[in-house]
Structure 1
């Protein structure tokens, strides 16, 4: 499995400029652009440097260290980052909505019995804790029944094989990889009362420089990558399989759980995120005890 995929885009003309790093984890919603960038780097905006890392933690750390100007993250993680920095970020783009792509997965042979103790593996992120809180509410599982431990996606297989945890909070393509090992989905984002949405957030201070790059992405590589995905263009589809380490059937199932937002739907999608989704996610983060108060995000256009 990839520990880190780095796609570097260089331009040879004009005065050298600093790369604009946009980080993401290995979530399936981020992979079309990374696949497109690897196959057709000339079609990407100049100076854009998308980096795919293995986990939420590494993405948020890179963002917090200002090694990246922005990141593709869940709305929960975006609100978490914005709250911890007292409002350093804005939403530049709505990437996708999960309809089954995020899940609670049980190790082979494990079945939940009411009242029993549950050992949960998850990334130490706002989004993972929010997903766990919704499953616990759905199953009426008390906080005292749950023990958590940090488990990165690269550690999923070992954690199950060694029976170190009973369930894992994860997302595609890792859901399919675990199902390949006879794991079982207990709960997913088709059942969550709170939506799972992924957005591109950018540091407010970097937005004036990043704005034309995001606009170029929405006009070029983004629609072209979504078109290649929808049409299953052979080279693109094979590249996506290599990136996700899924076979054709697994990738088809994984893609079915993600709805992408094209460029012409960005304005409406942004309105929905800000007025409908964000209040629900913020309320969940407070109710679950993750934050006492959440600092809301704004659209990046208001930062200019």
Structure 2
């Protein structure tokens, strides 16, 4: 049975699509997706859609969880979704739905990190490592182990929900925690030190805009314009936020002003040239890396096929 909130969203999206013939796009509350939400909030469009081209609109919905986004995307109630690359790879592999990458939006540039407390001893006979039970959490752990040359046989893995990351490390329940904002900043305030972060993984932990290939064929110019204009407008707004916009972001992300500033310092938005270069030069490589990791960890059973939309005819 559908939960009430999910049912309400389905009905809203369906009604809006029929009435306004708008393209439906959604993401969760992550900071990397906020530029589009900010643009829609700025326009305060009365019909809940954003006109991108004459007579062509987009309905942008901020949802409380990635799970809800993926359910709707899988049910084809969404034309496009903002996801992390690992989420998109897992989704495509597990559903077989034909999707493509329309844009690389942002990448983690220190926002994801492995932290330790002072006195950390990497030569201990056993290292207890805490991380979130997600593909991204596992991938960060996998790459940290590779980069730090830790023997896997000495690692004791412990799954932790994010809200327990701070207590687990500061109370000595784990020796290392793989985490992100706002928990990174909270830990640093208590003396934790960064042992490894996503600065060493440039372009591997990426937020992307993925599109149903059938929707790309129908709405190619609308989506290109959305990326080139509205998305860029939203990113530019971060350089000079009004009081109202700052309040909007704090409420949307549930980060206070300091946490918001710290999170922004650990991520980077792709500009137009970087986006184009990523899609052409880097996307196949990072897809292959993520496929290998997810296959080896038995999180998927077949490689995902996730081309750049510009390569889809």
Same fold by TM-score greater than 0.5: yes
Taking the TM superposition and a 5 Å limit, the aligned residue runs for 1:112-123 are 113=122, 114-123=124-133
SS, match of residue 288 in structure 2: helix
Deviations 1:202-222 (A, max 9, x none): 222333345344234224321
Cα 1:128–1:210, aligned 2, differ >3 Å: closer, same or farther? farther
Asked whether the 8 Å contact 1:27–1:172 carries over to 2, the reply is no
- Which residue, 40, 43, 62 being the options, matches 1:51? 62
Q: 1:218 aligns with which of 218, 224, 227?
A: 227
- Unaligned 5+ segments in structure 1 are none
Greater helix percent: which structure?
Answer: 2
1:206 maps to 215
Distance 1:64 1:132, change over 3 A: farther
RMSD: 3.9
Map Cα deviations across residues 94-148 of structure 1 (whole Å, 9 max, x no partner).
1012211222345x67845433242523033x22211111122234141573334
Match of 2:113 in 1: 103
**1 CA distance for matches of 2:164 and 2:181?**
15
Find the structure with the greater CA-based Rg. 2
Normalised to the residue count of structure 2, the TM-score between the two structures is 0.74
Is the contact made by 2:131 and 2:137 (CA closer than 8 Å) also made in structure 1?
no
Match of 1:132 in 2: 141
* Mapped pair 1:190 → 2:199: yes
Shift of 1:290: 4.8
Distance 2:80 2:163 in 1: 24
Of residues 79, 83, 99 in structure 2, which corresponds to 1:73?
83
Residues 156-191 of structure 1 show CA distances to partners (whole Å, capped at 9, x for unaligned) of 567668876655433345533554566543321012
Shift of 1:270: 1.4
Stretches of structure 2 lacking an aligned partner (at least 5 in a row): 1-5, 52-56
| Corresponding pairs, count | 295
Q: Give yes or no for the alignment of 1:270 onto 2:273.
A: no
What TM-score do you get using the length of structure 1 for normalisation?
0.76
For 1:86, which of 72, 96, 113 is the aligned residue?
96
